Structure 1
Amino acid sequence: MGLRRSLDDYKRNKEAAEVFPGEQRTQLGQFTGSTQRLIHVDPSGSVRDYSYPLSGLHGLSSSRFGVRLDQTIEWFDTLERASQTLHEGTVETIHNFEKFEVVQRDFTNGLTHATAFELRGEAPDSIELVGFVELTPEGQEGRIGQLVHDDELVEVYHNREHDYLGASTELEITPEVMEKFDEILADEPQSFPRKGESESYEGSRLTGGVRFRTEFEDGRTTVITTLSDIEEQSRSASLKHVADRTQRYSEPSQLLTAAQQSRQTPDITDQLVQTDLHVLDLLSAPTGARIAGPDFDPYYQYSGGYGYTWFRDDGEISTFLLEAGERLGLDIENRHRKSARFYLRTQLDDGRWPHRVWPMNGRLAPGWANGHVEGSETQYQADQTASVLVFLAEYLATHHESLPKDTTKDIETALELGVEGMDISLETDGLPTECENAWENMNGRFTHTAAKFMQAYSTIATAPLPATLQNRAAAQAGRIYEALETMWCPDGKIYGLRLADEDLDVRIDSTTFSLIDAHLAYRDVGDISDERYCRLATHLETAFERLWTETDAIRGLTRFEEDTWRRRNQASGKIWTVSTGWGAYAAENAIRLFSTTSQQFDPTAWSDRLFTEIDLTGSLCLSSGYLPEQFFDSGTPDSATPLGWSHAIRLATYAARSTRNADSAVDRQSGTR
């Protein structure tokens, strides 16, 4: 994504109340992708790459399509009648004119993206497709070159990355010189493509902008872009590849067949399961690691970026997938195996994991919580290591009979080393040391971190591991169980957010929902007192009531009390899909946790209430099926969309609810409760 496009968006939206100017948003539209390329198709049919974290290649910074009718150009982004759906492995966008339609189908296969156009209805014979693309190889807007091969195929390159544009019908190409300094600094944004020819041959070969037009043949034409590393694929091979794909995808039947064959997600009839697995596939690199979400803020103006693999998010997603797969009988073992391999490869020598890494290769990525790498514990998110260890222990427990011996041994070694890593962060009082929280916006000694540690130690203690390691982990889990008394606030009847300078921060935080998972795991290790059950029930009920927010447009849970992040002009904290989904998941697990106790609080109603809002028809779910990270009170979605963590939580909660409902049906048929 180019800086010019971010500055252009800033000019257009700097006065907007619920938009952060300069971002490259994805709340509207759909994605198509492979493990190497992630393409957003906005409602007007414009496409843009979000591929760099997956493949190391940048590709399209912007694009625009339309049709020429006689001498008039109608750009699709000026129409008001487009509709968009997922159709047979493609994103299908229909552009409506009075007497005809242009059907646009987008799909991605490997490093190649196809955009096919087909006319329906009474289109004039003189109609032509027109378009504009801006390619930014290696993220460069300058120091790039352009080659026009035989007047019909374009190559834009910097150093290693070479990007290609071709079409199934003859192209008329005009290289487009992008904004100069005075235009970049001007108050008004520029619109592309411009009118007229480029100023010179020299200037036209030092730009990433390409204007083109092409005729429809038999009412069809297909535009192809493909990305390549010149050290891995030669120019001649790339040119041949583009020529082959433009012809192969020129026929609708061939294109749809190719789209179906290239789909990563298995064909599942349940739409919610299909949607969530599809989103997680879109966000996955060949290594199996996932970005948190499409990187809409690459210049860190309002966030720290999203196009990286966090070991918390990824570890939680892996665990949710593991649970959902077991409960729903999904054939997703390959995902678990890839995740385990990635974690084994990226574990540090001290048993922990870094803040975030590049999913394409596992190398350390830019971040602000690598204090343990630098030699300081405070600027470190200790819960991330615990999240990964929970997955590895659960994966070993559920699949140890089918795992190769060397894999089992590697996981055992990683778990033993991981216990040592958590031990480093555990203080003598039984609580984790001061560190960063899961939301990455404050330091302290957090209830959530303690809960994740207790869950990790407990899960390891019950996994098929040597007895010495099991006993060691069980002892540490017991220490944290006792130490959690420190986090209890008797006046508020809640578990506080953190200890800060020995004072208990008594705000409600949705991360404390992890106490439910922690105690579910711990009850297989040690005894849970009636008083602790009572406190957990009171805390959960109070947290739901205090975080619940309802407006005319949306309903759900805020992240934590007094949350000020990304509020723009809104006076209060925003509703988050992660927190709402986490609440639904915690409520579902609380049904299991409290099933043998005499608690008066029944979390079933809250499970239903919260899940309803993230369900496909819920107020927090977009028409695309995507869950954005957060919402303004007006119902305007904001931040990373789709967010992988939210989709994994939804899938796991749906699976748990399905299992519970099935069990209830069996009980009713057998005459029991």
Structure 2
Amino acid sequence: MGLRRSLDDYKRNKETAEVFPGEQRTQMGQFTGSTQRLIHVDPSGSIRDYSYPLSGLHGLSSSRFGVRFDQTIEWFDTLEGASQTLHEGTVETIHNFEKFDVVQRDFTNALTHATAFKLRGETPDSIELVGFVELTPEGQEGRIGQLVHDDELVEVYHNREHTYLGASTELEITPEVMEKFDEVLADEPKSFPRKGESESYEGSRLTGGVRFRTEFEDGRTTVITTLSDIEEQPRSASLKHVADQTQRYSDPSKLLTDAQQSGLTPDITDQLVQMDLHVLDLLSAPTGARIAGPDFDPHYQYSGGYGYTWFRDDGEISTFLLEADERLGLDIENRHRKSAEFYLQTQLDDGRWPHRVWPMNGRLAPGWANGHVEGSETQYQADQTASVLVFLAEYLATHHESLPKDTATDIETALELGVGGMDISLETDGLPTECENAWENMNGRFTHTAAKFMQAYSTIATAPLADTLQNHAATQARRIYDALETMWCPDEKIYGLRLVDGNLDVRIDSTTFSLIDAHLAYRDVGDISDERYSRLATHLETAFERLWTETDAIRGLTRFEEDTWRRRNQGNEKIWTVSTGWGAYAAEKAIRLFSTTSQQFDPTAWSDRLFTEIDLTGSLCLSSGYLPEQFFDSGTPDSATPLGWSHAIRLATYAARSTRNVEPAVERQSGKR
């Protein structure tokens, strides 16, 4: 995603109240993708690549399409009333004119993206497709070259990455020089394509901009883009591939057939399950690792970026998927296996995991919480390691009999090493040491970190592992259980957010919902007192009541009290889908936790209330089915969209609600190895 496009957006939106200018937003529109390429199709049909974290290739930085008839060009992004849906594996966008429509279907297969256009209705006698694309191989906006093969197929390149553009009908191509310095620095944004002819031949071959037009044949034409690494696929092979694909996808039936067959989601009819699995597929690399969300802020202007694999997000997603699979029988074991293999590959020598990595290869990605790599414990998010260990222990317990012996052994070794890593972070008082929190915006000794540690130790203590490891993990879990007394505030009747210099921060934080899962796991390790049950119930009910926010447009839970991040001009905390979903999940799990107690608090009503807001028809779910990370009070969605963590929470909560009072289909193995 180029700097030019970010600066252009900044100029267009710097005065907009609920927009962070310069971001490449994805709240509106839909995605199509493979494990190597992720393409956003905005409501006007313009497409853009968010593929780099998945494949290491950049592709399209911007584009626009339109039609030319009666000597006039009508760009689709200037029209009103377009509609967009998922249709048989494609993103279908319908552009409406007075007497005819243009139906656009987008589909991604491996590194190739097809955009097919079909005319429908009373079309003019002479009509052609027009388009513009900006290609930025290796993320470069300068030092790029352009080749035009046989006057109808474009190749744009920097070094290794080569991007190709072709069509099923004859293309008329005009290279387009992008903004010069004076245009970049001007107050007003610049629209492309420019009017008039291209610059000199020399200038036209040193740009990633391409203007084109092509006629419709039998009312149809298809535009193809393909990304390639020239060290893996030579030019001749790429040119042949583009020619083959343009010919193949000139036939709409073949495009729809390939689109339907390329879906990674099993044949599932439930719309919510299908949507959540589809989103997690879109965010997944060939390794099985997932980006947190499409990277809308690659220049780190308002965030630290989202196109990376966090081990907290990914570990939690993996556990949610495992749980949903156990309850709904989704037949997604291959995903669990890939996740486990990725975690084994990326575990550090001390048993822990780094802040975040590139999903394409597991290498260390830019981050700010690698203190344990640098030699400092404070700038480290210890809960991330615990999240991964919970998944590995649960995966071993639920699939132990079917795992290859070598894989099971590797997981056992990783768990033993991981326990040692958590031990490093556990202080003598039984609480994790000072570190960064799950929201990555403060330091302290957090209730959430302690809860994740207790859950991880407890899960390992009951997994099919060696006696010594089980006993040690159980002992550590009991130490944390006792130490959690320190986090209780009797005046507020809640578990505080954190300890700072020995003082309890008594703000409510939605991450403390993790106490429910932690105690469910701990029940198999030690006894839970009636007083602890009472405190958990009181805390959960109080947290729901204090974080609940309702406006004319939306309803849900905020992240934590006094949260100031990304508020723009809003004076109060924003609603987050992660927090709302987490609350629904915790309430559903609390039904199980409190089922044998005499607690007066009934979490069922809160489970229903919170899940309603993230359901497909809820106030926090977009018409696309996507869950953005957060919302302004006006109902304007903001930040990463779709957010994988939110979709995984929704899926696991739906699975738990659908099978309430029913035991999981997969039996968990426990006991000795």
Quick check: TM above 0.5? yes
Q: What is the CA–CA distance in structure 2 between the aligned matches of 1:95 and 1:211, rounded to whole Å? A: 20
TM-score (norm 1): 0.98
Is 2:53–2:360's contact at 8 Å kept on the other side of the alignment?
yes
- CA positional deviation for 1:125: 1.9
CA spacing shift, 1:334–1:672, aligned 2, 3 Å = closer
- CA positional deviation for 1:100: 0.6
Comparing 52-61 with 657-666, greater Cα deviation is found at: 657-666
Question: Per-residue CA shift, 1:507-544, capped at 9, x if unaligned?
Answer: 00000000000000000000000000000000000000
Alignment partner, residue 357 of structure 1:
357
Q: What is the CA–CA distance in structure 2 between the aligned matches of 1:371 and 1:646, rounded to whole Å? A: 27
Residue 667 of structure 2 aligns to a residue whose secondary structure is: helix
Q: What is the CA–CA distance in structure 1 between the aligned matches of 2:516 and 2:467, rounded to whole Å? A: 26
Residue 668 of structure 1 aligns to a residue whose secondary structure is: coil
- CA positional deviation for 1:477: 0.1
Instruction: Tell me the percent identity.
Output: 93
Q: What is the CA–CA distance in structure 1 between the aligned matches of 2:672 and 2:430, rounded to whole Å? A: 43
CA spacing shift, 1:663–1:321, aligned 2, 3 Å = closer
Q: How many residues align?
A: 673
Unaligned stretches of 5+ residues in structure 1: none
Alignment partner, residue 559 of structure 1:
559
Is 2:465–2:671's contact at 8 Å kept on the other side of the alignment?
no
Question: Per-residue CA shift, 1:451-500, capped at 9, x if unaligned?
Answer: 00000000000000011100000000000000000000000000000000
Q: What is the CA–CA distance in structure 1 between the aligned matches of 2:86 and 2:665, rounded to whole Å? A: 34
Residue 664 of structure 1 aligns to a residue whose secondary structure is: coil
CA spacing shift, 1:150–1:452, aligned 2, 3 Å = same
CA spacing shift, 1:664–1:115, aligned 2, 3 Å = closer
Question: Per-residue CA shift, 1:385-422, capped at 9, x if unaligned?
Answer: 00000000000000000000000100000000000000
Residue 524 of structure 1 aligns to a residue whose secondary structure is: coil
Q: What is the CA–CA distance in structure 2 between the aligned matches of 1:439 and 1:101, rounded to whole Å? A: 46
Residue 670 of structure 1 aligns to a residue whose secondary structure is: coil
Residue 395 of structure 1 aligns to a residue whose secondary structure is: helix
Superposed structure 1 runs of 4+ greater than 2 Å apart: 661-673
- CA positional deviation for 1:260: 1.0
Question: Per-residue CA shift, 1:364-402, capped at 9, x if unaligned?
Answer: 000000000000000000000000000000000000000
Q: What is the CA–CA distance in structure 2 between the aligned matches of 1:377 and 1:669, rounded to whole Å? A: 34
Alignment partner, residue 435 of structure 2:
435
Is 2:464–2:669's contact at 8 Å kept on the other side of the alignment?
no
- CA positional deviation for 1:661: 6.7
Q: How does 1:627-638 map to 2 (within 5 A)?
A: 627-638=627-638
Q: What is the CA–CA distance in structure 2 between the aligned matches of 1:125 and 1:238, rounded to whole Å? A: 35
Is 2:432–2:445's contact at 8 Å kept on the other side of the alignment?
yes
Alignment partner, residue 502 of structure 2:
502
- CA positional deviation for 1:266: 1.6
Alignment partner, residue 474 of structure 1:
474
CA spacing shift, 1:403–1:664, aligned 2, 3 Å = closer
Is 2:562–2:573's contact at 8 Å kept on the other side of the alignment?
yes
Is 2:327–2:666's contact at 8 Å kept on the other side of the alignment?
no
TM-score (norm 2): 0.98
Alignment partner, residue 106 of structure 1:
106
Alignment partner, residue 97 of structure 1:
97
- CA positional deviation for 1:584: 0.2
Residue 409 of structure 1 aligns to a residue whose secondary structure is: helix
- CA positional deviation for 1:262: 1.4
Is 2:398–2:669's contact at 8 Å kept on the other side of the alignment?
no
CA spacing shift, 1:666–1:499, aligned 2, 3 Å = closer
Question: Per-residue CA shift, 1:248-296, capped at 9, x if unaligned?
Answer: 0011111101111211112210000000000000000000000000000
CA spacing shift, 1:145–1:672, aligned 2, 3 Å = closer
Q: What is the CA–CA distance in structure 2 between the aligned matches of 1:393 and 1:371, rounded to whole Å? A: 26
Question: Per-residue CA shift, 1:291-324, capped at 9, x if unaligned?
Answer: 0000000000000000000000000000000000
CA spacing shift, 1:314–1:668, aligned 2, 3 Å = closer
Q: What is the CA–CA distance in structure 2 between the aligned matches of 1:503 and 1:670, rounded to whole Å? A: 39
Q: What is the CA–CA distance in structure 2 between the aligned matches of 1:585 and 1:644, rounded to whole Å? A: 15
Alignment partner, residue 412 of structure 2:
412
Is 2:397–2:668's contact at 8 Å kept on the other side of the alignment?
no
Q: CA RMSD in A?
A: 3.4
Q: What is the CA–CA distance in structure 1 between the aligned matches of 2:396 and 2:164, rounded to whole Å? A: 45
Residue 286 of structure 2 aligns to a residue whose secondary structure is: coil
Question: Per-residue CA shift, 1:35-84, capped at 9, x if unaligned?
Answer: 00000000000000000000000000000000001210000001102100
Q: What is the CA–CA distance in structure 2 between the aligned matches of 1:360 and 1:206, rounded to whole Å? A: 29
CA spacing shift, 1:667–1:290, aligned 2, 3 Å = closer
Q: What is the CA–CA distance in structure 1 between the aligned matches of 2:4 and 2:539, rounded to whole Å? A: 49
- CA positional deviation for 1:330: 0.6
Residue 119 of structure 2 aligns to a residue whose secondary structure is: strand
Q: What is the CA–CA distance in structure 2 between the aligned matches of 1:485 and 1:434, rounded to whole Å? A: 17
CA spacing shift, 1:407–1:672, aligned 2, 3 Å = closer
Alignment partner, residue 118 of structure 1:
118
Q: What is the CA–CA distance in structure 2 between the aligned matches of 1:258 and 1:54, rounded to whole Å? A: 21
Is 2:581–2:611's contact at 8 Å kept on the other side of the alignment?
yes
Question: Per-residue CA shift, 1:592-616, capped at 9, x if unaligned?
Answer: 0000000000000000000000000
- CA positional deviation for 1:668: 27
- CA positional deviation for 1:198: 1.3
Question: Per-residue CA shift, 1:416-471, capped at 9, x if unaligned?
Answer: 00000000000000000000000000000000000000000000000000111000
CA spacing shift, 1:668–1:143, aligned 2, 3 Å = closer
Residue 507 of structure 1 aligns to a residue whose secondary structure is: coil
Question: Per-residue CA shift, 1:525-584, capped at 9, x if unaligned?
Answer: 000000000000000000000000000000000000000000000000100000000000
CA spacing shift, 1:197–1:671, aligned 2, 3 Å = closer
- CA positional deviation for 1:669: 30
- CA positional deviation for 1:664: 14
Is 1:261 matched up with 2:237?
no
Q: What is the CA–CA distance in structure 2 between the aligned matches of 1:268 and 1:529, rounded to whole Å? A: 42
Question: Per-residue CA shift, 1:334-374, capped at 9, x if unaligned?
Answer: 00000000000000000000000000000000000000000
Comparing 263-272 with 18-27, greater Cα deviation is found at: 263-272
Q: What is the CA–CA distance in structure 1 between the aligned matches of 2:255 and 2:151, rounded to whole Å? A: 25
Question: Per-residue CA shift, 1:178-198, capped at 9, x if unaligned?
Answer: 000000000000000000111
CA spacing shift, 1:385–1:215, aligned 2, 3 Å = same
Comparing 457-466 with 257-266, greater Cα deviation is found at: 257-266
Residue 512 of structure 1 aligns to a residue whose secondary structure is: helix
CA spacing shift, 1:5–1:667, aligned 2, 3 Å = closer
Residue 264 of structure 1 aligns to a residue whose secondary structure is: coil
Is 2:495–2:506's contact at 8 Å kept on the other side of the alignment?
yes
Question: Per-residue CA shift, 1:94-127, capped at 9, x if unaligned?
Answer: 0011111100000000000000000011111200
Residue 663 of structure 1 aligns to a residue whose secondary structure is: coil
Unaligned stretches of 5+ residues in structure 2: none
CA spacing shift, 1:264–1:664, aligned 2, 3 Å = closer
Is 2:53–2:358's contact at 8 Å kept on the other side of the alignment?
yes
- CA positional deviation for 1:662: 6.3
Q: What is the CA–CA distance in structure 1 between the aligned matches of 2:671 and 2:269, rounded to whole Å? A: 31
Residue 259 of structure 2 aligns to a residue whose secondary structure is: helix
